Amino acid sequence: MMKVSDYIVEFLISKDITDVFGYPGGMVTHLMDSFGKYKDKISAHVNYHEQAAAFAACGYAQVSHKPGIAYATSGPGATNLITGIANSYFDSIPCIFISGQVNTYEAKGDLLVRQKGFQETDIVRIVESITKYAIQITSENDIKYELEKAYHICLEGRPGPVLLDIPMNIQRQEIEVSKLRSYDTPSTDLNTDVNRYNVILEELEKAERPCLLVGAGIKNSGLVEEFRKLTLSLGIPVVSSMIAIDVMKEEDPNYYGFIGAYGHRAANFIVAKCDLLISIGSRLDCRQTGVEKEKFAPNAKLIRIDIDKNEITNQIKKDEIQIVDDINAESLSLLTDKISEKFKKDFSSWKLVCNEINLKLKNIDKENTTSIVSALSRYIPDDVIITADVGQNQVWIPQAFEFKGKQKALFSGGHGAMGYSLPAAIGAYYASRKHVFCFNGDGGIQMNIQELQFIAREKLPIKIIIMNNSSLGMIRHFQEMYFESNYIQTIEDDGYSVPQFEKIAYAYDLPYYKIQDPNKIDANVFMNDEPIIIEVVLGNKTYVFPKLSMMRPCQDQDPLLDRNLYKYLMNI
C-alpha cells in the first residue's frame, strides 16, 4: 500500500524530473510531506509567491524540454498560478500544475452557494480555457490514470499546461498501485513521410529570392542543431521570430535577424523582397506580419509548416501552402539529406542583395540604450542562459544582444507577463545548472521581487541585471506617440516610482554593482559564481527603435528611413 501523495512524487521521479516549485499551504501538506520523503531524488523548492513558482516551472521546462511542475494550495494559492499557466499555454511550454483542494466532504458539490469549504475555489473551471487538460481527481483510484494522461497530454503535439486539482483527503488515501487503472496512450504513426515536404523543393526550384523563417516551435522541440544543419544545406537567407532569436548563430552568414514590429530592419526588408517564404514553427501573428496582412511578404509564395492545425486558420495569404506536421529530428534530417542530394540551385546573387541591405542598415538605429545592451553582451560568456522580462528590456535583448552559439534566451512571448524573468531564471538554473543572466526593467523586477530571497537563500549563480530608466518605458513611449506626452502613471512625477536598488540588494544580502558608463565595466562582475544585482542606470526617456507604427508595412519602421534609401533598398 502507498499513500496517493507518495505515488505522485514517485511518478515524477520516474519521469526524470529533478526539481519542482511551489508554496506551502494547508491543502498540499501531504504532498509537501511526500516531497520531503524523497528529497534525495527530487527537490521541491519553496518560492515566495505561487505565480513565481509557475514561472519557475516554465523556465525549467523551456530549458529541459521536460514538464515543469508547480504546486499550490487551494483558493488563492491556485488562483495565483493562473498567470504562469497562461504563459505556459500561449508559449507552448509543457507544465503540470498541481493544486490542492478542500476535502471532498467539505466541497459545495451541487449546492448553489458560492463556497462551502474554506479557500474552496473551482480552479478547474477557471483555467479550462488556458490548459490542454484540467480535472479534479475525486477518487484515489484514478490517480495513476490521471497522472499518466496529464503527462502525455502536456507533451504530445503542441505542448502546453495541464492542471490536476487534488482534494486533501484524496492525497492522504492509501492505494494498492498494482490494482490501479492505467492510461492507454493513443497510438501514433511514427513513420516519417518526408515526401510531404517535396513541395518545398518544387517551390525552391521556381524561386529566385527564397527566405526561411524559423519560429519558437523549433527550439521548443529541442531541434536547434538539426535546424542549423538544414539551413547549411539550403544556403538561403534565414530570419527568425523574436522568441527564436537564439536558434541561429549570430555569426552565421545566412542569418539576418528577427522580423516584425520591433524586428531588425534588414530582416524585414528581406521578407518584403523575397519571392518564397518558408515558415517553420512560427504562428505568424500580427506582431510579425503587421496589421494589414497583404503588406507582409507581398511578392512571396508562402509555405507554412505548423504543428497546430488551428493556428493556420489565421490565414495570411489566400494561396498559402499549409503543412500540418509535428516536425522531429528524423524528418529534419531526412529533409536535409534530400536537399543535399537533389537541390543544387545557386542563390548567390540574392545573397548579395541581402548582404547589401544588411550593410546599408547596420547600426542605423544604434542609440545609447541598445549600445549598452550590446556592450553588456560582450562580457557575458557562451553556454549560459539569458532571461528577459517584458517591456523595453525584452526588446532590447533581441535587437542588440550579441548572441553566442551556445547561449539560450527565454522570453514570455505571447502572454507578455511582467515579472517573468526573475523566477524563470530560477527554473532555468535548476534545469541546466548553468549560469543565468536575468534581464529586467525597473517595473518588471518589482512584480516578483520577493524571489530575490530565493536566489540569496540558495546562492544561485544568477546575475540580476536591472535596466533602470525610472519609468514604465514602453507605455511612456506610447503616451508620447498617441497621448501628447501625457505621462500619466508611468513616470516618477505622476504615479510611478522605483526603490533604491542598492538598498534592496542590501536587504536581501546580495552584492550590488552599478553601471553608469558602458565603457567602464568590471568584467569580473560577470565571471564569478555568486548572485549579484547589477543596476544599469539609464536616462528617463528611453526608446525601442526600430518600431512599427500602425498601418505601415513591417520594413517601414520608425524612425523612418530617408525616402531615397528606402526606395533604393526596395528596388535592388
Work out whether the CA dihedral 71, 75, 80, 84 comes out positive or negative: positive
Residue that the C-alpha cell 487534488 belongs to: 166
Q: Which one of 179, 206, 236 terminates a domain?
A: 179
Kindly report the average pLDDT of the chain as a whole number: 95
Model pTM score: 0.96
In-domain check, residue 571: no
105 and 242 part of one domain? no
Instruction: Using the predicted structure, report yes or no on whether residue 403 has a pLDDT greater than 70.
Output: yes
393 and 350 part of one domain? no
In-domain check, residue 53: yes
Instruction: Using the predicted structure, report yes or no on whether residue 343 has a pLDDT greater than 90.
Output: no
375 and 356 part of one domain? no
pLDDT-derived band at 369, boundaries 50, 70, 90: confident
Which strands sit side by side in the sheet containing 95-101, from one edge to the other?
43-46, 19-22, 68-72, 95-101, 161-167, 133-136
Q: What does residue 546 show for φ and ψ, rounded to 5 degrees? A: -75, 160
276 and 391 part of one domain? no
Work out whether the CA dihedral 412, 418, 422, 426 comes out positive or negative: negative
In-domain check, residue 551: no
276 and 167 part of one domain? no
Lowest mean pLDDT among 17-31, 327-341, 510-524, 540-554: 327-341
Q: If 0-12 CB within 10 Å is exposed, 13-18 middle and 19+ buried, where does residue 433 land?
A: exposed
Name the residue among 432, 501, 499, 440 with its Cα closest to residue 460.
432
In the numeric block, which cell numbers belong to residue 441? 526593467
442-468 pLDDT, tens per residue?
999 999 999 999 999 999 999 999 999
411 and 508 part of one domain? yes
325 and 384 part of one domain? no
In-domain check, residue 502: yes
Contacts of 554 (CB under 8 A, 6+ apart): 259, 260, 261, 263, 268, 271, 272, 288, 289, 290, 295, 296, 548
104 and 128 part of one domain? yes
Q: How far apart are CA 241 and CA 443, in angstroms?
A: 25
**Residue 421 lies in domain:** 368-537
Which strands sit side by side in the sheet containing 385-388, from one edge to the other?
408-410, 385-388, 436-441, 462-468, 532-537, 512-515
Q: What does residue 513 show for φ and ψ, rounded to 5 degrees? A: -145, 135
Q: Which one of 146, 179, 212 terminates a domain?
A: 179
Residue 272 is predicted with a pLDDT of: 98
In-domain check, residue 562: no
Q: Which one of 294, 326, 361 terminates a domain?
A: 361
Q: How far apart are CA 490 and CA 477, in angstroms?
A: 10
Residue 189 is predicted with a pLDDT of: 59
Q: If 0-12 CB within 10 Å is exposed, 13-18 middle and 19+ buried, where does residue 519 land?
A: exposed
Half-sphere exposure of 323 (CA within 13 A, CB side): 20
DSSP letters for 118-151? TT---HHHHHGGG-SEEEE---GGGHHHHHHHHH
Helix (H, G, I), strand (E, B) or coil at 443: coil
Q: What does residue 89 show for φ and ψ, rounded to 5 degrees? A: -65, -50
Instruction: Using the predicted structure, report yes or no on whether residue 113 has a pLDDT greater than 90.
Output: yes
Mean pLDDT of 122-135: 98
CATH number at residue 163: 3.40.50.970
Q: How far apart are CA 437 and CA 535, in angstroms?
A: 13
Instruction: Using the predicted structure, report yes or no on whether residue 340 has a pLDDT greater than 90.
Output: no
pLDDT-derived band at 191, boundaries 50, 70, 90: low
20 and 169 part of one domain? yes
16 and 83 part of one domain? yes
Mean pLDDT of 322-336: 87
Instruction: Using the predicted structure, report yes or no on whether residue 378 has a pLDDT greater than 60.
Output: yes
C-alpha Rg value of the chain to the nearest Å? 25
CA distance readout (Å), 490 to 2, 298, 466, 475, 497: 55, 38, 17, 7, 8
In-domain check, residue 289: yes
If one counts every other C-beta atom within 10 angstroms of the C-beta of residue 10, the result is 16
What total number of domains does the chain contain?
Answer: 3
Lowest mean pLDDT among 433-437, 516-520, 551-555: 516-520
In-domain check, residue 550: no
Contacts of 553 (CB under 8 A, 6+ apart): 272, 290, 292, 295, 296, 298
175 and 251 part of one domain? no
Residue 192 is predicted with a pLDDT of: 60
E strand spans, 130-231: 133-136, 161-167, 174-175, 210-214
DSSP letters for 88-121? HHHTT--EEEEEEE--GGGS-TT-SSS-SSTT--
Instruction: Using the predicted structure, report yes or no on whether residue 153 has a pLDDT greater than 90.
Output: yes
In-domain check, residue 552: no
421 and 480 part of one domain? yes
Residue that the C-alpha cell 532569436 belongs to: 245
